[in-house]
Structure formats: C-alpha cells, structure tokens
Structure 1
Amino acid sequence: MLLVTSELLVLVLAIVQAKAGWIDWNYFGLLSLFVQWTTLTSAALICLLRQRLAKMSVPRATLSIVAIVLLDVLAFSLFADSVLHPQVGIAVWQDVAKKLLLALLIALMVLRYFYLQHQWQQQREAEMQSHLTALQARIQPHFLFNSMNTIASLIAVNPDQAEEAVLDLSELFRASLRTVDQLIPLSKELDLCQRYLAIEALRLGDRLTLDWHIEPGLEQQAIPPLTLQPLVENAIYHGIQPRPDGGTVRVEAQARGDFVYLLVQNPKPDHNDRQHEGNRMALANIQSRLQALFGEPAVLKHSHQNDIYTVTLRLPRQSANLQTKTNTGI
C-alpha cells in the first residue's frame, strides 16, 4: 500500500512538473527511485524498532516515526544531491527542505491513516467481545429450570447420574462465564455440546436420538467458544422439544481442502414466530463473531430440505494452538 500510494504521488508530481507533454519521464524516473528507496528503508527501520515503539505512548511513537522518516529522507537527499549536483548552494538546501517538508506531510497523513485503522479495529474487537458476552450469558432460563427439575428427580433414584448432570451443568456455566478466549479447540466445543446433550437426554429420554460424525484429526481446529453449542441448543429447542415423537440431532465435522465444515441437522421446526425470531438472532450473533475473527472465509448458512433443517458452518482450516489475539500494534 505504501509503495503504490507513493508511486501515485510521484506520478501526480511528474504530471505537474511536465512543461511539454503529459509527463516529465526523466523527473518521474529519478523521483520514483528516490521515493521508493526512502519508503522501503523507512518502513524497514520502523519494523525493526516496532517493539520499542509499541511500548511508547502514541505522541512519542508518532514523533519517533516522523524523526526516522525525516532522517532517512535527509540522508538520501544529501546523497542524491551529491551525485546529481556536486556543488553545494542555497538552491540545493532549498530542494532538501522541500523534500523534508513533503516527507513530513506524507508521514503524518500515513500515520493518521494507520491510527484510524487501529481505532476501527479496536472498536470492532469491542463489538465482537460484547456479542460474545451476550451470547455466553444467554443460557436459557427454561433449560436451567428443566435441568434442575431433572436433577432433583434423579437424586433419589439415581444419585450417580444426578451427580454427573450437576457436573455437566457446572461446565456449561463455567463456559458461559469465561469471556477471555477468542478461539478454542474444536474438541473443547464438542465436549461442551456433549455435556449439554447429556442433560437434555435425561429429560427427553427416547425422544432424542444423537448421530455424531466427527472426522478424526480435527481436534485442534480453531473455533470461537460457544459457537456450535448454541446451534445444538436451537436444534433441541426448535426441532426436538415441540415434537411428541422427538427426532434425531446430527452433528457432523469434516475437512475439505482449506476449510472445515460443521453441520447441525434436526427435524424441520414448526413456524412459530417467537421461536423463529430467537433462532435468527442466535444465527446473526454467531455470524457477526465469525466475520470479526475470520473475515469473509467464514460462512454460516441454514437450509430446509426434506423436512430436515440444516445449519452449515464453514471455518478456515487452522489450529487453535497457533492462534493469538489480533495484533493491533503499529
């Protein structure tokens, strides 16, 4: 971006400088060589010092970067003038001063652009974090009440099973309260889904049938926390619970090329406006988080076919162990 922008600036100056024709090609060639060298060397010096610059305040970092750029331009200007104009005079120093002034203005404009980009990225991450917090806080009251009633009924007849249900419920609440991790391994998200389904299986009994198809080797696939579990929860709430005879929830994960596809299928839900609206809100929330973390490669879509409702999630193939928080430094 810096190279293209600087070259466009050189083109404009060459057009303005031309006294005959459209472009002064000699001026364009010499200025391009000068600008590209100063741009590349300044960017290289700033990259080498980025760890120190990142520890500074914004004003100090700005002054340091401007000083680096001006010193670099000054050095190349003196070198170029010594080659092209061996004699030293007032005109030469005026030319150097013009270059320094132009470099100062361009450096400040570029820094302003990067600062606005940094602010926009911080706002984007804050919005994503608020979406995550809202989603993680949405453990449905009806699920909590049903789970507690189920556990209470099991204490007398099957205390071991009641204890397992309490542990599963505590893991769900622990996940809902943890908002630090932006990405977790797929195996952790699948474990959370299994705990949720284990609790629902106690309540629904034979009405709930589970069908798992998880391709081996995807355990460390990166996925935002509480992405698959809400989809499974929607499958139970909209597709299984309203049906007297229940149905099957199918969870599938497979890799295709550079992507990993996750599918959640359940019987087609009834057209209840309130439930349908809640389902759309959950899908929109997950979609916004995926876009914030992965961008365009991440896709979330849903479809109906042969009385089967399918939610498909496409993620870029990458390991959660290699993920770090988005770099918002200079």
Structure 2
Amino acid sequence: MTTGHSKNPDQDSSNGGVSGFFVPDLCRVRSVFMLVISSELMVMLLAMAHARGQWIDWNYFGLVSLLVQWTVLTSAALICLARPWLTGLTTTRATLAMVILVIADVLLFSGVATRFLYPGETAAQWQAVGKSLLIAVIATLMVLRYFYLQHQWRQQKQAEMTYRLTALQARIHPHFLFNSMNTIASLIGTRPEQAEDAVLDLSELFRASLNTSERLVPLKEELALCRRYLALEQLRLGERLRVDWRTDDALNDQAIPPLTLQPLVENAIYHGIQPRPEGGTVVIESQRSGQYVYLLVQNPKPDSGASNHQGNRVAIRNIQARIQALFGETAVLKHSHQGELYTVTLRLPWQTTGTSR
C-alpha cells in the first residue's frame, strides 16, 4: 500500500484537501467517538457469543468493555502523540509501528487485568493475555485497512474533482475568444484605451482558467472575474446588456471554488441576453441567511429549449459536483423559472477563506 502525496503530508485542509497520512487524526472528538462506538459494538457481539442461556452475559460485557475502552483510548492517544513521527514513514512501516504500539498497550492492560481475573493461575493468565493480543492485532489490522481504503477513496474523489475543475477552468468558449478578439481589433483604431482594457480583462480570464492550484478563493475574487468578463461582453453587446449588482460586501471573504459564478453569468448572457434583440438585465446577488450564503444569477427566460442546451447542462452538473465535493451535501445548486425570469441559485455553507487577499 502506498499513500498519496501532498504539499503537507499531514494536513486535512478545510477546502477539501486530503491528508497524505491514511489514518485520521485520532485527537479529534469525532474520531475518538467512532472508535469507542465501534469497539463497544464488538464487545457486545463477544458478550452475546459468550452468553449461555441468555442473550448477553452482562458481567462479561462489563469487564471486557472496561478493558477494551481503556486500551482503545490509550492506544488512540499514543497514536495521536506519535502522529507527527508516523506521517514521515511509509505506509508499511507506519502500520507496523501502530500495531506495535497497540500490542504494547494491550500487553500492559491485559497483564494487569488478568492478575485480578485469574489470581494465582499463571497458565490462565498467559492464555488470556495471548487471546487479548491476538484479538487486538486482528482488530487493529482490520481498522487500519478500513482507514487505508477510506483514504484511497477520498484521494480518488479528490483526483476526480481536480480533473473536473481543470476541465472547467480550461474551457473558454472559442466563439467567446473570437468575439472578444474581433471586438478588441475594432477598438484599436478608434478607442485604443478601451482596447487595452479589454486585452487586460481577457488575459485575466485566461489566467484564472489556467490556475488550478486554488481550490477555494474569496467571493470578491470571483466577482471581480465576473466583472472583467461582463466588461468584455458589454463591449460586444453594448446597451443590450444591463447588469444589476446586488452583492453584500460583508460576504467578500466567503469561500467559493474558482470559476463558479463566471460560467453561470456566461450562460445567462448566451441563453438569456444574446438571443433577444432588445437584450435584457442580468442580476447578480449575494446574501447570507443563518449559516448559509446564497448566490443568485438571474436573466430573462431563455427561448423554448435554450435552457436545456448541452453546454448549460454540463456547466451546472460540473459546478454541482465541485461544490458538493468541497462542501458536502450542504452545498446546493438549483435553477428555476418564475414568469419571464430564469434564476440559478447557489447555496454554500458560510465559510471564509482565512486570507486577506
């Protein structure tokens, strides 16, 4: 077995990164709670198997539970303390080291416990210790195997998310590029300053599409990218394109995947503004309600069938997959029709990037 590699091998980043060490941080309350519950279920099964003439041997359950919980909690504490050292080892060596730690811990506690359970019976004591060690080794290897498989699964999901992000960020519509270049060419002779600004906006869009190192960026950066994109489209569409900004500056540091709003704004223009001779208004809104942040992109209702355009569906599915991979099921992307308006709503958990960019 081999572990994945990341810039920091022992960092579970809040933005969806996967730790390079396959064992979760056992210093966390959730990890300890899961270990306690799992070990108690195992003890209950042993007590049921040990019972004679009843469903469960409660005396046996109590004694074994006490021993198991002590060993589980102390072993978890030892692994937690040794984690900085373990992360520098290979998977095989780290597994061996953790098994040795558990064996030493179980040997200590079972050796003390058997002296009280089997006083003066040396053979029974050694037999009980041997059984405890065998059970501990088997259980430890099973738990570590489970942790490893979970880690591999998380790495695979992370790789898939990275691929989707790269594919989306690398996708700038050829017709958008051609239209932008034609617009810039037409401005060079008559309005050179606007042409220069348009070149800068276009280069910023390309920079964002090629930068795949960031998983989350502040909302203000994504909004700034949308403004650059809209500035280019404004040159092409003129008065046909109107934008209504309803953004809350208090949400500037909200964490959002890069190139999340821009494709939604692009869809709003291509399917809601461009086909209409009279154009229309694109509304971009951000608001917070409780522990959630809502981002809305609204445009005139597309012509019949336009909202089902393949590019539109791909963009929405892609964004939905990315936000759920980063934030879980609390992140939602939905679209709706209300009269003559088409609205895409993005719900994200309130979370800041922790940067001052």
Common fold: TM-score over 0.5: yes
- Given that 1:238 and 1:275 are in contact with CA atoms closer than 8 Å, whether structure 2 keeps it comes out as no
Structure 1 residues 32-75: Cα deviation after superposition (integer angstroms, max 9, x where no partner): 10111111111111111112111111000100111111111111
307 and 273 in structure 1: CA distance in 2 versus 1, 3 angstrom threshold:
closer
The 2-side partners of 1:68 and 1:317 are apart by 40
Structure 1 residues 192-246: Cα deviation after superposition (integer angstroms, max 9, x where no partner): 0000000000000000000000112111100000000000000011110111000
275 and 6 in structure 1: CA distance in 2 versus 1, 3 angstrom threshold:
closer
Count of paired positions: 322
1:88 offset after TM fit, Å? 5.1
Structure 1 residues 114-165: Cα deviation after superposition (integer angstroms, max 9, x where no partner): 0000000000000000000110111000000000000001011111110000
The structure 2 residue matched to 1:93, chosen from 115, 126, 130, is: 126
1:313 aligns with 2:312: no
- Given that 2:220 and 2:253 are in contact with CA atoms closer than 8 Å, whether structure 1 keeps it comes out as yes
Structure 1 residues 10-50: Cα deviation after superposition (integer angstroms, max 9, x where no partner): 11111111123221111110001011111111111111111
1:278 aligns with 2:317: no
Residue 86 of structure 1 aligns with an amino acid whose one-letter code is P
The equivalent residue for 2:186 is 153
1:246 aligns with 2:305: no
- Given that 1:213 and 1:252 are in contact with CA atoms closer than 8 Å, whether structure 2 keeps it comes out as yes
The equivalent residue for 1:218 is 251
The 2-side partners of 1:148 and 1:272 are apart by 29
Structure 2 gap ranges (5+): 1-33
Report 1:286-301 matches (<5 A).
286-301=319-334
The equivalent residue for 1:260 is 293
The equivalent residue for 2:44 is 11
Residue 250 of structure 2 aligns with an amino acid whose one-letter code is G
The 1-side partners of 2:100 and 2:49 are apart by 28
Q: TM-score, normalised by structure 1?
A: 0.95
The equivalent residue for 2:143 is 110
274 and 214 in structure 1: CA distance in 2 versus 1, 3 angstrom threshold:
closer
The 1-side partners of 2:222 and 2:204 are apart by 11
Q: TM-score, normalised by structure 2?
A: 0.88
The structure 2 residue matched to 1:120, chosen from 135, 147, 153, is: 153
1:307 offset after TM fit, Å? 1.0
Residue 83 of structure 2 aligns with an amino acid whose one-letter code is R
The 1-side partners of 2:290 and 2:346 are apart by 15
The equivalent residue for 1:186 is 219
The 2-side partners of 1:285 and 1:250 are apart by 22
The structure 1 residue matched to 2:80, chosen from 38, 47, 54, is: 47
1:101 offset after TM fit, Å? 0.3
> Partner of 2:303: helix, strand, or coil?
coil
